[in-house]
Amino acid sequence: MNDAENRIKQKEQSVNQKEGNLDKQAKENDVIKENLNRQIELVNIKRTELEKHQEEHIRRLEKIANLTAEEAKSQLIESLKNEAHTQAVAIQQEIIDDAKQKANKEARKIVIQTIQRTAAEHAIENTITVFNLESDEIKGQIIGREGRNIRAIEAATGVDLIVDDTPEAILLSSFDPLRREIARLSLQRLVTDGRIHPARIEEVVEKTKSRLKTK
């Protein structure tokens, strides 16, 4: 019985303590609520004052401009429309002018490229002779060690030899068609003979020149 009474007393004390804490929390909540209400009242007062000041400001502007707010807004919109239209016309004209300039520039470019291409094709036809080879291995023999053979051919004929990636071909370049023909015939004899070295090159070129002069 004593133990039961003690437990009941402890529970009563715990309940009383919780009730006290709840009362304390409720009082604190009331204080917070009162503070919030006062702040809300202040905000409402400030908002009312701000609305009054705004209305007074609008009335002053209307009095100064002798226009209502709607009239001022309409005039502003119309002014913005006119300004936008003017800018649009100017931009449109700029686009047209720019397009014309680009078109003229592109047309001149096409004409120039056509002239250059035609001139280049004409120049190549009149300055280049293609010497065909049976295989690309012969290019190495024509070039020679450290390029001595090709230098000897160019010196003897006065023709530039262009050895590039063109398969089974060497280009002979010169404005003089006679020199190109001498170089072509000389190369033909050298390749057929198989003996290609500076001394042999000079000999073959001289013989080719003599034959052509005789003809």
Number of domains in the chain: 3
Sorting pLDDT into bands at 50, 70 and 90, what band is 99? confident
Instruction: Clarify whether residues 38 and 87 are in a common domain.
Output: no
Q: What is the mean pLDDT of residues 199-211?
A: 90
Tens digits of residue pLDDT in 89-98: 778 778 777 7
Instruction: Clarify whether residues 201 and 141 are in a common domain.
Output: yes
Domain that holds residue 42: 1-66
Instruction: Clarify whether residues 206 and 139 are in a common domain.
Output: yes
Instruction: Clarify whether residues 143 and 209 are in a common domain.
Output: yes
Instruction: Clarify whether residues 194 and 164 are in a common domain.
Output: yes
Domain-ending residue, one of 89, 105, 129 = 129
Domain-ending residue, one of 129, 149, 182 = 129
Instruction: Clarify whether residues 13 and 86 are in a common domain.
Output: no
Tens digits of residue pLDDT in 26-70: 888 888 888 888 888 888 888 888 888 888 877 777 666 665 667
pLDDT of 134: 85
Q: What is the DSSP string of 142-188?
A: HH-GGGHHHHHHHHHH--EEE--S-TTEEEEE-S-HHHHHHHHHHHH
